[in-house]
Amino acid sequence: MSSAIQCPCGQGDYANCCEPLHLKLTVAQSAEQLMRSRYSAFAQQQIDYLIETTALGQQPSLDRVAIREWSQRNQWLKLEVIQHLPKLDKTHASVEFKAHYHDGNTVQVHHELSYFVQHQGQWYFLDPTVDHHFTMKQPCICGSGKKFKQCCAQFL
Ligand SMILES: [Zn+2]
Ligand SMILES: [Zn+2]
């Protein structure tokens, strides 16, 4: 194991923080942990991880090239988790955070309120930028089997 490398998310050694998640040795225990591991994945350009931790039904719509360019264009400096609400309902959570990065010219702060869904023991990011070309009565993008309208649509 690689030791003494600081985790990009700021919670100590990478080997004891986001690396086990990136290597799929374990799964995130909370939406906050998943969010942290996604930030670290951005910092390390682990595009597969970013795609695999997005809601199942959204994964085919993600723009891999755009995600890679966005992650590479910036230098990721620091993550600040502002607020984690772990139980919006049985399967949804939110994380408000600030990602500090350098865009080549100046330091920027990306402030976001993200929503997450838990499905079969795993947390997934609900990407608000994905267009959904289906009716609200179709099964939810998260795999829950509920109607989209009664499940993740409330958080997108
Ligand atoms: Zn970490
Ligand atoms: Zn859902």
Q: Per-residue pLDDT tens for 32-46?
A: 999 999 999 999 999
Q: Per-residue pLDDT tens for 50-75?
A: 999 999 999 999 999 999 999 999 99
Identify the nearest ligand to the CA of 44 by its number: 1
**Distance in Å, CA 2 to ligand 2 centroid:** 36
The dihedral of CA 156, 27, 121, 84: what is its sign? negative
**Distance in Å, CA 72 to ligand 2 centroid:** 30
Using left for φ > 0, alpha for ψ between -120 and 50, and beta otherwise, residue 4 falls in left
Identify the nearest ligand to the CA of 13 by its number: 1
pLDDT band at residue 24 using 50, 70 and 90 as cut-offs: very high
**Distance in Å, CA 127 to ligand 2 centroid:** 12
Per cent of the chain over pLDDT 90 is 90
* Nearest by Cα to 38 from 23, 54, 26: 54
**Distance in Å, CA 63 to ligand 1 centroid:** 24
For residue 3, pLDDT over 60 is answered with no
pLDDT band at residue 110 using 50, 70 and 90 as cut-offs: very high
Identify the nearest ligand to the CA of 7 by its number: 1
The pTM for the full model equals 0.93
Note the pLDDT of residue 31: 98
Helix (H) or strand (E) holding 80: strand 75-85
Note the pLDDT of residue 41: 97
